[in-house]
């Protein structure tokens, strides 16, 4: 009996020690600089990312002109609950967030589902860009629009997917000022998409006007302890706001209005206005018809009938004289 109790105690102790490990994702794929930890529903994605990880690492570090030999841990969640556990929070992760980077820890957490904007592969490269940008700057502050613009540049996301919101804002003059995108992005979905669009296309413009060397030159100036504004001016011969205005002047106004006029929101508005016009027109016709019926009834009520004589023949009304009144 004592032996059985001892065996039971050992089994329970083993379960207690092993249970936390079972709750964590098991390592499924590794490369020289990456360790992928997917949950059970994301193993295939981990293998896919492992096959491309080293090439993407070289590409990102090449754009930055820096070196980072750390082994990056990549956790991959196949559902919301798993992602929250991997992030280490008891608060829900917003549904449009497909990935999170923790540069100081060398950690990336991905959602295997991606989202409506990014594929999971794009998200991996996007978050990797955040890790390596932070590493190259060694904690020096840069605006949020530059962080996200660079991350989207290296992720290789199709520009066409961003042009609708961007050109729509260009047509209506509703761009978000760069000053509002320095510390954070908006919390509401339509404006956060516009913030990402502006950041991506602006950083692409900065790379284009410098022959693809702008980001590297800016990072080098920041590494020399220049403040961001001074480093930006040194690299692009103008402040961020001045350069943004130059960028705005390169946007085709006709294309902007064409995209805006054919956007889903505008088309739905036109359909709604057409419906309202038809509805009001129909109501006006019905009101006019009703008024005509009322007028006809009033005219019929005011009509005076002709007198009828004693022999049945129609006659005329006469007013009796004084001698005829009895």
Listed in order, strand segments (DSSP E) in the chain are 29-30, 34-38, 72-77, 99-102, 107-111
Residue at 105 is within a domain: yes
- Lowest mean pLDDT of 20-34, 103-117, 207-221, 241-255, name the range: 20-34
Is residue 71 within 8 Å of residue 38, measured between CB atoms? Answer: no
Same domain, 151 and 97: no
Q: In the chain, how many domains are there?
A: 3
Residue at 308 is within a domain: no
Q: What CATH number is associated with residue 135?
A: 3.30.2010.30
Can you tell me the mean pLDDT for 224-242? 95
Predicted structure pTM score:
0.67
Same domain, 239 and 288: no
Range of the domain at 44: 23-139
Is residue 146 within 8 Å of residue 136, measured between CB atoms? Answer: no
Same domain, 201 and 110: no
User: What percentage of the chain carries pLDDT values higher than 90?
Assistant: 40
Residue 166 CB neighbours (<10 A): 22
Same domain, 76 and 119: yes
Q: Smallest Cα–Cα separation from 27: which of 17, 18, 15, 36? A: 36
Same domain, 115 and 212: no
Can you tell me the mean pLDDT for 10-27? 42
Residue 114 CB neighbours (<10 A): 17
Cα–Cα separations (whole angstroms), residue 53 to 60, 84, 112, 155, 188 = 11, 24, 16, 12, 32
Same domain, 112 and 217: no
**pLDDT above 90 (res 143):** yes
Residue at 319 is within a domain: no
d(CA 219, CA 102): 20
At 78-119, the pLDDT tens digits run 887 887 788 876 555 666 578 889 999 999 999 887 654 458
**pLDDT above 60 (res 6):** no
At 262-314, the pLDDT tens digits run 344 444 454 555 656 666 777 777 777 777 777 777 777 776 555 555 555 55
Question: Of 214, 238, 262, which one is at a domain's C-terminal end?
Answer: 262
Residue at 111 is within a domain: yes
Same domain, 32 and 114: yes
Same domain, 173 and 258: yes
Please indicate whether residue 78 or residue 23 has the higher confidence score (pLDDT): 78
**pLDDT above 50 (res 255):** no
Same domain, 251 and 151: yes
Is residue 127 within 8 Å of residue 108, measured between CB atoms? Answer: yes
Same domain, 134 and 161: no
Q: DSSP of 266-293, one letter per residue?
A: HHHHHHHHHHHHHHHHHHHHHHHHHHHH
Residue at 304 is within a domain: no
Residue at 95 is within a domain: yes
- 287 CB-contact burial (10 Å; exposed 0-12 / middle 13-18 / buried 19+): exposed
Residue at 246 is within a domain: yes
């Amino acid at each position: 009996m004592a032996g059985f109790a001892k065996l039971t105690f050992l089994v329970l102790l083993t379960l207690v020690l092993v249970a936390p490990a079972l709750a964590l994702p098991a390592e499924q794929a590794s490369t020289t600089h990456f360790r992928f930890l997917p949950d059970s529903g994301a193993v295939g994605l981990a293998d896919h990312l492992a096959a491309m990880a080293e090439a993407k690492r070289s590409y990102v570090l090449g754009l930055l002109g820096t070196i980072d030999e750390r082994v990056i841990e990549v956790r991959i969640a196949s559902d919301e609950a798993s992602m929250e556990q991997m992030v280490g929070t008891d608060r829900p992760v917003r549904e449009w967030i497909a990935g999170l980077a923790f540069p100081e820890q060398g950690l990336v957490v991905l959602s295997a589902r991606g989202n409506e904007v990014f594929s999971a592969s794009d998200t991996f490269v996007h978050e990797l860009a955040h890790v390596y940008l932070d590493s190259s700057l060694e904690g020096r502050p840069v605006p949020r629009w530059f962080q996200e613009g660079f991350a989207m540049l290296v992720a290789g996301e199709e520009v066409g997917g961003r042009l609708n919101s961007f050109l729509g804002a260009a047509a209506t003059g509703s761009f978000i000022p760069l000053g509002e995108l320095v510390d954070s992005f908006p919390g509401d979905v339509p404006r956060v998409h516009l913030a990402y669009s502006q950041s991506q296309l602006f950083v692409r413009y900065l790379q284009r006007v410098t022959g693809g060397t702008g980001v590297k030159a800016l990072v080098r100036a920041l590494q020399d302890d220049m403040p961001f504004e001074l480093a930006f001016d040194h690299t692009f011969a103008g402040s961020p706001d001045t350069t943004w205005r130059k960028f705005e002047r390169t946007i085709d106004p006709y294309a902007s209005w064409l995209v805006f006029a054919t956007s889903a929101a505008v088309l739905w508005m036109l359909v709604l206005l057409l419906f309202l016009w038809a509805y009001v027109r129909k109501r006006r016709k019905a009101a006019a018809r009703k008024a005509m019926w009322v007028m006809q009834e009033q005219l019929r009520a005011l009509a005076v009938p002709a007198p009828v004589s004693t022999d049945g023949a129609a006659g005329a009304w006469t007013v009796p004289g004084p001698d005829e009144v009895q």
